[in-house]
Amino acid sequence: MTSPHGPVLDRRGFLKLAGLSWLTPVGRLLADQAERTRQPAQSIILLWLGGGPSQLETFDPHPDTKIAAGTKAIATSVRGIQLAEGYEQLASQMGSVALIRSMVSKEGDHERGTYLMKTGYRPDPTVEHPSIGAICCHELPVGRTDIPRHISILTGQWPSRGGFLGGEFDAFQVDDPNGKLPDVTAAVSPPRDVARVRDLEVVERAFARGRAGRVEETLHRETLARARVMMTSEQLQAFDVSQEPAAVRAEYGATAFGRGCLAARRLIEVGVRCVEVTLGGWDAHVNNHEIHKARARELDPAFAALLRDLARRHLLERTVVLCCGEFGRTPKVNPLGGRDHWPGGFSLALAGGGLRGGLALGQTDPEGLKDPVRPTTIEDVHATVLTALGLNPAKENTAPATGRPIKLSAGRPIRELLV
């Protein structure tokens, strides 16, 4: 197998290569064993770049071309792969990262593009599709997590939803982890709190008479029970990044996004299935270069530190990290020094979860005129992530309102990324 930058060997291929001549049977045996013993990922961290980052100022620079408009590139730890200037820390982690530089989408509007990227489906007035985080929480084992298994930190304008899977799979929304976690501490003394719950049970039993079916459908009692468990769970400490050593906090950067990424790692450790951390402000219709330099100062240290930290704690293999926005930005710079919406050829980054790193798939035209080489759809990215999580993208769930069977993903896994 090859990439645009030379041959790529997966674990099976390497072991077979090591078993040349008389060692071939041994090499084959080791390769087969490696395939059988690799466990699927258990969680996903979505670094959401709200507003649509420019591919040229992030993961797909074309230095010394007209479309670069002065943007410079830097070398990475993988020969032949460059990133835009400003991503020096991420560049050192490129061996763990796969870039897809030929993403295409049919949605160039922020809300519709966000919906498509987060759910893998275009908006449909007849059904609300679940986000990929909601799918993971619905399909993967519950485990022993007392706190919500789907969490959104620094939530943007369109948070991830449970869709037709139900509101219980909506992302639990929190702000900067530097602050106090809202709505988890009783506003009254413990004895009075217990008395209030007891009184509420009396009222609910009276209300349920003759309405048992309707009351059960609301899931109110189950939701209340889960909330009570969460309020007393030690796992809530995962949100408190102040418990981390100062050196670790400094790695991520003294920003809300950096703290969000650190909290994401802590939450994954206690069994949370999906954490979404939002870094907004990429909608650069004016002063594109200045905006992207400012965002890079937050994204670069946080993204790189997250990868290092996950690897140190042996969590990277079981955690998929996806970094993306809803679309890219135009190769042409407009009269205001900005780049406009561009769903016709943009980039995203994937890491961890057993996915192959150290390669860049697809190519965009250095003149910005032709379609990307080997276009990749958002649906295919979803299918790849689900496969890394041990899920079958073709599995169907039924949308209750319409009775329609809907696949977890309508795409096909990107085989080059699957080890």
Spell out the residues 6+ positions from residue 83 whose beta carbon is closer than 8 angstroms to its own. Answer: 58, 59, 61, 73, 74, 76, 90, 91, 94
Residue 179 pLDDT: 81
Burial (CB count within 10 angstroms: exposed 0-12, middle 13-18, buried 19+), residue 254 = exposed
Extents of the domains making up the chain: 1-38, 42-181+240-417, 183-235
Residue 216 pLDDT: 63
Residue 233 pLDDT: 79
Residue 388 pLDDT: 98
Closest CA to 342 of 322, 378, 361, 368: 368
Residue 82 pLDDT: 98
Q: Determine whether domain 42-181+240-417 maps to CATH 3.40.720.10.
A: yes
In this prediction, the residues of the chain whose per-residue pLDDT falls under 70 are 1-38, 182-190, 193-204, 207-208, 210, 212-232
Q: What average pLDDT does the chain have?
A: 88
Q: Tell me the C-alpha to C-alpha distance, in Å, between residue 20 and each of 16, 201, 348.
A: 7, 71, 37
Q: Measured between alpha carbons, how far is 109 from 292 in angstroms, rounded to an integer? A: 20
Residue 8 pLDDT: 43
